[in-house]
Structure 1
Amino acid sequence: MIRDKRRLDPETGQVREPVAPAAEEPEVAGGDDNAFAGDVGQALPGDGQDEAPAAEGDGEHPDTQLAADRLEDLRRLQAEYVNYKRRVDRDRARDRETGAATVVEALLPVLDDLHMAKEHGELAEGPLLAIAEKLEATLGRFGVERLGAVGEVFDPAVHEALMHLPEADLPEGATETTIVQVMQPGFKVGDRVVRAARVAVADPA
């Protein structure tokens, strides 16, 4: 197309009014697979530029593992405390028995004298009898137990036979070796024998 751009009309000699150029229609890309849609720089859906959200790790959360570790520590401390308490209770009972046994060993001469006095009838009545009974009651509160009595079956674990009397009278119905005389009573504290009872025994006929 040829446009006459002269400002003067060659026929009339007048100045021509400028004619506004016709607006050109934008070219539309037709059917191009690589064409953009929308603003420049905006990625098309499905072009592979959208980032997928980061997947969470398969491992446990750190707080969960920390809680498990603390629980295991607590269980271990509790087990240690239970074992400690058992050991302390056992040692306390053993120390108590040891202390009581030490006292009984120191009082053995006094207890033997009281036993001999009772055998000879000197503790039938009076203040001395009350003192002897209070002493034995006090020792009993600490787990002290007297060993040896006439008529008991002889037990070598807690009795010591000093004499064997074949002609001694036994309790009716006795079928085992039996104590017929107590020369010195024995004493034990808990399972600990402080002194075995020294006795005379006899066998059934």
Structure 2
Amino acid sequence: MDDILSTPQSTDAGSADAGAAATAEDPSAALAAERLEELRRLQAEFVNFKHRTAREKEQLRTFVTGDLLQTLLPVFDDIDAARQAGDLADGPFASIANKLEEILVRQGLTRIGAVGEKFDPNVHEAVLQQPTSEVEPDQVSMVLRSGFRIGERVVRPAQVAVAVAE
């Protein structure tokens, strides 16, 4: 124990003691250093707060947009059915349907489900299996109802038929 206490200090330890002694002698310098450290901490907290609120705002926007678009999906289904029946070839209703689809796409709505896609249970709902040679096994062979996503959030999975080997 005596060896440790009698060992001379290094220059770094001596300078640290000198800095502590200088701040002990000058209380205004110690107060300024303390306030500067508090200011840096507050600034870091504020930057983190700004980033967190921006992220939460974007998540809330996506969630609200998704809920609104989810209520419009039956209209989208009717538009698809009318197109497949040939009722939307021309006319004012075709123009309105196109404008509605453009607006929804600008809001981030994308279709899920196309023939030939690899079946993914996260975005597809397998309604039936269909033996076919038109596409590879475990791929979508027929889309029964389109699915939709906003960003990474799946609003409605696509109902599909999955190809199996003949």
- What one-letter code is carried by the residue in structure 2 that aligns with 1:89? A
| 1:203 pairs with 2:159 | no
| 1:100 pairs with 2:65 | yes
> Which of these two proteins has the greater Rg computed from alpha carbons?
1
**2:138 aligned to which of 172, 177, 197:** 177
1:122-161 matches, cutoff 5 A: 122-161=87-126
- What one-letter code is carried by the residue in structure 2 that aligns with 1:185? S
Q: Distance in 2 between matches of 1:118 and 1:102?
A: 25
Given that residues 110 and 150 in structure 2 are in contact (C-alpha distance below 8 angstroms), is that contact kept between their aligned partners in structure 1? yes
Given that residues 132 and 164 in structure 2 are in contact (C-alpha distance below 8 angstroms), is that contact kept between their aligned partners in structure 1? no
Shift of 1:185: 0.8
Shift of 1:109: 1.2
Q: Distance in 2 between matches of 1:161 and 1:112?
A: 18
Task: Note closer, same or farther for the CA distance 1:84–1:100 as it changes in structure 2 (3 Å cut).
Answer: same
| Residue segments in structure 1 that go unaligned for 5+ positions in a row | 1-56
Q: Distance in 2 between matches of 1:78 and 1:58?
A: 29
Given that residues 115 and 184 in structure 1 are in contact (C-alpha distance below 8 angstroms), is that contact kept between their aligned partners in structure 2? no
Shift of 1:200: 1.3
Instruction: Give the helix-richer structure, 1 or 2.
Output: 2
For the residue of structure 1 that corresponds to 2:22, the secondary structure is coil
Instruction: Give the strand-richer structure, 1 or 2.
Output: 2
1:9-158 matches, cutoff 5 A: 58-60=21-23, 61-158=26-123
Q: Distance in 1 between matches of 2:78 and 2:133?
A: 25
Q: Distance in 2 between matches of 1:150 and 1:123?
A: 22
How many residues of Structure 1 are paired with residues of Structure 2 in the alignment?
145
Shift of 1:120: 2.2
- What one-letter code is carried by the residue in structure 2 that aligns with 1:59? A
- What one-letter code is carried by the residue in structure 1 that aligns with 2:110? E
Q: Distance in 2 between matches of 1:147 and 1:85?
A: 34
TM-score, with structure 2 as normaliser? 0.79
For the residue of structure 1 that corresponds to 2:131, the secondary structure is coil
For the residue of structure 2 that corresponds to 1:180, the secondary structure is strand
Shift of 1:182: 1.4
Shift of 1:168: 5.7
Q: Distance in 1 between matches of 2:93 and 2:53?
A: 40
For the residue of structure 2 that corresponds to 1:188, the secondary structure is strand
Residues 153-205 of structure 1, C-alpha deviations (whole Å, 9 max, x = no match): 211110111111103622xxx4x422122111111111111110111121356
Task: Note closer, same or farther for the CA distance 1:151–1:131 as it changes in structure 2 (3 Å cut).
Answer: farther
Identity %: 46
TM-score, with structure 1 as normaliser? 0.65
Task: Note closer, same or farther for the CA distance 1:187–1:87 as it changes in structure 2 (3 Å cut).
Answer: same
